[in-house]
Amino acid sequence: MSHYITIITSLPYLAPLSANKALPISRIGLEQRLAALSEADRQQLAVMESLFSLSVETLKTNQQWADFWRQQCQSIESDVLKDFFQRMGEALALLSVERERLLGYQPLTLVYGRYQPQVTKRSGDVLFGLEAQWPEVAAVAQALAEKKAKKASRLFDQWLWNQLILCEQSEMFRYENIVSYVLRWRLVERAKVSRLGVMKGDESMSSLFLSMRDSVINRANSSLTPFMQEAL
């Protein structure tokens, strides 16, 4: 527990997503702090970062995706974080089917989550009449219906941000707080890259950016001295 407190208190404040114009800490600085995590915790974080990287703009769900998502969720040990990713999976699956509805596909099949009867019954409605249960996700679906992909992505990321804040509020100075911070940091990074025009409209630029970032992270990890690790 004590090393979690040390990591958490060393992390700079992340302003609300809509107000966050710059990252308060670099990925190198973040990795230096995360070096104090146990190997098991780092592996869990890697699984969650991989799931979190999926974009609402491009995702197409199918049975293979659903099986993979369930398997990965089952491997998450924290009940709070497992619940978050299960809800994220449901939202992504609903939005994927919503996109198919807008394209005129029939029949509509929900491959993940509890709402297939609702999808069948209300197949002509935006988000299949689930506005009361999923108001923020319904706003994303409406943006998709209006062909405003960037707005949809921005609204979805804001919903993720809000859900992660709830995860943090349910725990104090625990592993969940660290994971939530890292994932919210990624949302700020994604918004920053989007503003630069890297993630939208130029996949080669996006690939180059992400490759450069991963290279920097690897160099940062390998360059940590035992003294620096002990200080963390």
Give the whole-angstrom CA distance, residue 28 versus residue 221: 8
Q: Which long-range contacts (CB under 8 A, 24 or more apart) does 13-22 make?
A: 14/181, 14/184, 14/185, 14/188, 16/161, 17/157, 17/158, 17/161, 17/184, 17/187, 17/188, 17/191, 18/158, 20/188, 20/191, 22/192
The letter for the amino acid at 209 is F
The pLDDT of residue 228 = 34
Provide the residue type at 156 as one letter: F
Residue 50: name the closest of 72, 24, 28 by CA. Answer: 72
Q: Which residue has the higher pLDDT, 1 or 5?
A: 5
- pLDDT in the model for residue 227: 31
The radius of gyration computed from the CA coordinates of the chain, to the nearest angstrom, equals 19
Q: What is the pLDDT of residue 88?
A: 96
Q: What is the pLDDT of residue 36?
A: 92
pLDDT of residue 57: 63
* Residue 226: per-residue pLDDT: 43
Please tell me the pTM assigned to this model: 0.82
For residue 207, the model assigns a pLDDT of: 47
CA distance 5 to 105: 50
Dig out the tokens for 157 from the structure.
């990321």
Find out whether 44 and 79 touch, Cβ atoms under 8 Å: no
When pLDDT is averaged across residues 19-28 and rounded to a whole number, the result is: 89
Q: Is the pLDDT at 94 greater than 80, yes or no?
A: yes
Confidence of residue 172 (pLDDT cuts 50, 70, 90): confident
**Residue 28 pLDDT > 90:** yes
Confidence check: pLDDT of 178 > 90: yes
Cα–Cα distance measured from residue 187 to residue 155, given in angstroms and rounded to the nearest whole number: 12
Helix (H, G, I), strand (E, B) or coil at 22: coil
Q: Is the pLDDT of residue 201 over 90?
A: no
pLDDT of residue 213: 52
